[in-house]
Structure 1
Amino acid sequence: MIDPNIAPLRALPRDDRDLFIAAGNGHILAFDNVSGLPAWLSDTFCRLATGGGFAVRQLYTDQEEVLFDATRPVILNGIEDFVTRPDLADRSLLLPLEQISEERRRPEQELWVAFEAECPRIIGALLDAVVKGLAMLPHTRLERLPRMADLALWATACETARWAAGTFWSAYCGNRDAAVEGVIEADPIAAALRAMMVAQTEWTGTASELLEALDQKAGARVANSKAWPSSPQALAGRVRRAAAFLRKIGIEISLGRDGRARTRVIRISMTEPPSPETGGAQPSASSVSSALPPNDNPSQVQNHNPCRPLRTKQGVKTTYRPH
């Protein structure tokens, strides 16, 4: 609606340089028909979501450097679960869309005519939310902050323009819980670790011993696949990457050194899993009151009757950071 970019849908970039050039020429980056993400691109999307730079040598020079620095929302649309790395999943909003039946499909021309008719109302609703957010943000407090802390604070400040207080936090926490389960299922190492710890509460050993134990748990078909680490060193890196999400389901992992030989040891223990975030998603009374300007009445916000939200199409997976 307001982005000057004339190519709203793109193919995935070939390298970091192409991605950051695209970020410098548009407010939002949208990539369609994504079936998979290479590891380097997943890491670059993380930097782009939370802010980061990319430096390359300027063309036709020996010492001059060009620095690309950007923070942009990214929309990734696809059918498969392609966000499988924990660091990107923790920065994402996962939005599964309902399939459009043949009876409800419309020609593109008809769709755009309807969109243009609704566009002023959509922009007006968004601006109302922005005005509310600007007024509420200095008074907004959350008892705990996720990785995307600025997103959580900004959306919480804006939400009472359309919904009751606590609506965003409840939905966001539920989305993060679903992301944890999805990433663990997609990562064969995380899934094997969870299966291994079902029958025990503690495990201690080296990376080589852990790889042998996981080989037996996963079976020959998985252990011989390309997704399986080929060495104890590679396994240790995969375990570190999965540790944050495994901790959320009650599996604590620590890597350190023991004895005079300073042997690298991995310790895995079952702890009391934290209660699902959705269960305690509603802010406390103090959180609600702190999210209101001094002259507002918290009870009025709690009893606010939200308007029917406008329906807009969004990508399946979104990494978002407000400006």
Structure 2
Amino acid sequence: MSDKSIIFFLMCMVLLLLVVVCYQQFVFGRGIQDKLKKISEKLSEILEKDSDEKVMVFTDNKVLISLSGQINRMLLDRQKVKADYRKQELSTKKMLANISHDIKTPLTVILGYLEITRMENKEDEMLQKVETKARQVMELINQFFTLAKLEAGDLNVEIMKIDIGELCRENVLDFYELLISKEFTVELSIPEQNYFVQGDKESINRILNNLLSNAIRYGSDGKYIGLFLREDGNEIYIDIVDKGKGIEKQFAKSVFERLYTMEDSRNREIQGNGLGLTIAKNLARQMGGDIVLESEPGVKTVFTLILKKILY
């Protein structure tokens, strides 16, 4: 074999080796990229679902093993922070419930003395105002107490079969005289067919009372109130509608927050303690339902109570 042939053969072998090496590097790099992509997707899924899963990677690459280990370490620290926060939050809610209960006792005594004194001085306007304000404080304390018990999981909600149509009629009738005196147009759509939901009667009454009274109070400009009961699949929807000033879009998500008052979003002359809707939403969720809001300012505002339908 000539020298030229040997040189050509060697060059071919070198070229072949270079191709093999480049291919291996390409495959190796592609494999690393695929594994990094899977790690990224898994981490994104864990964060979006707020789950307690860990990132798993099957590889012999020490760098990837170290990376996944550090990620899991951060996820574990995150779980501990979440657990500590929930524990502290629950402790705070229980403390608030206890404080509310302790305040109620002396306030009840004060109200008793005020009532006796007012009976002896019926014409004393200042005394009447003091008693009115004391009762408002008592109502606020009661709402704080209810909310604190709800959020701490200490409020017993008795789930039973309830005729929701009948309950809706009863609640509207409770406001009949007030609606007539304020010259409201009332529109009802409650099917004759009986619809049954799973829930607590006292809780549903409280929710409907809150939604109806809010519609009357904040929707007084429209002189209209509507209640519409409808079904959709396994759920019952109760729409409470008014045609008042409405709620601007930027305030819509805030109305269910604790201590948020509606004067910021609807009628600024009206004062409230900002707990009614928070309690109502919590009660609805305790029964497996929810309350949602849709509002078009100047046109209509709709609060919808959603409850689980009983199919038998």
Of structures 1 and 2, the larger Rg is shown by 2
Normalised to the residue count of structure 1, the TM-score between the two structures is 0.21
Normalised to the residue count of structure 2, the TM-score between the two structures is 0.21
Which structure has more helix as a fraction of its residues?
Answer: 2
Which protein, 1 or 2, shows the higher relative CO under an 8 Å CA cutoff with sep ≥ 6? 1
